[in-house]
Structure 1
Amino acid sequence: MTTTVPNPVLRVAPATPAEAAAHFCASLRFYADVTDVAAALAAGGDPGFVMLDSRSAQSWDQGHIPGAVHLPIALIPERAGDLFDESVPVVTYCWGPGCNGATRAALALAELGYQVKEMLGGFEYWVREGFAYETWQGPQCRDADPLTAPVAGACGC
């Protein structure tokens, strides 16, 4: 007797095209990727959003995105009103994909009435994709990691 092993990818049927479109459209409303954030910031002028680094002071000193506002998660309820305009979207980031600090910061801001997006990849991918960052010692930049970003040119997405 032959037993058929179910295809692990299709064990659960894919969503309908309409369900998939709704899901992915919603996802883009909640998330921005590092490359898009960097491009918006590099374009000059007002990018239309503010960056929030939700990590500790020690982490901020180790490295952060230039122009970001430093506000640890625990301080968001008491300090957000002094730092942010409710009409300007806030893009949150934390360490990286293994950390949910940016998600918790986005939730705290949304509960206070702010429009928010989370930057996928966090500070880790900002650095790994070769974008400049600031430390307590001054500006820094590393070469792009070829496993996360093209060495030359754009990814094309």
Structure 2
Amino acid sequence: MTNALRFPAADPKTAAAFFAAELAFEADPDDVHRDLQAGNTSGYVLVETRSPEAFARERIPGAVNLPYRDLPEQLDLDPDLVYICYCESFQCNAATKGALALAQRGFRVKRLAGGITAWREAGYPVERNQADVSKVACHC
């Protein structure tokens, strides 16, 4: 038996349910980029969950900064929108913490797969306020 099949694959119906559920929690950078290019972000807002300092250095165009550490209990956000949270990368969990906090406050959320690192590595544009971005640390 191969290592890859040591644990049998799920039946197709179970696999479809699992992967559909997974997609309910994550957004793909390619999909978000296509939306931004088309000017069609109706229904969602990109949320940078890192610190204001990290947001000032570099962010995805159109994102708003809601640092997960500073989220108040009451937020003046549209409950009809989905909030797509992102942070630095797969190694950072600020997006997960931010999405959790927003969901606990009654908002619908997703996480952007790979964060701003995956976004940048795909060659997508970022906005910058400061000239020195040679070392953009997570600052979560």
Give the TM-score of the pair, scaled to structure 1: 0.78
Equivalent position amino acid for 2:35 in 1: A
The residue identity in structure 2 corresponding to 1:38 is H
Whether the 8 Å contact between 1:97 and 1:121 is mirrored in structure 2 is yes
What's the counterpart of residue 9 of structure 2? 14
Cα drift, residue 46 of structure 1: 4.3
Aligned residues: 132
Distance, in Å, in 1 between the alignment partners of 2:91 and 2:24 is: 21
Q: What is the match of residue 94 of structure 1?
A: 87
Give, as a single letter, the amino acid of the residue that structure 1 aligns with 2:58: G
Larger radius of gyration: 1
RMSD (CA atoms): 1.8
What is the TM-score when the length of structure 2 is the normalising length? Answer: 0.86
What is the match of residue 131 of structure 1?
124
Equivalent residue, structure 1, for 2:62: 67
Q: Is the 8 A contact 2:89 2:115 kept in 1?
A: yes
What do residues 91-138 of structure 1 show as CA deviations (whole Å, max 9, x unaligned)? Answer: 000001111111111111111111111100100011111111111137
3-state SS of the aligned residue for 1:35? Answer: helix
Q: Relative CO higher for 1 or 2, CA cutoff 8 Å, sep ≥ 6?
A: 2
Amino acid at match of 1:27: E
List gaps (5 residues or longer) in structure 1.
1-5, 141-157
Query: Deviation digits for residues 38-79 of structure 1, max 9, x if unmatched?
Result: 111221154320010000122112200111110110122346
Q: What is the SS of the residue equivalent to 2:72?
A: helix
Give distance in 2, aligned partners of 1:24 and 1:45.
25
* Aligned: 1:42 with 2:37: yes
Q: Is the 8 A contact 2:43 2:80 kept in 1?
A: no
1:18-44, Cα deviation, whole Å (9 max, x unpaired): 110000011111111101011112211
Aligned pairs (5 A) from 1:79-118:
81-82=75-76, 84-118=77-111
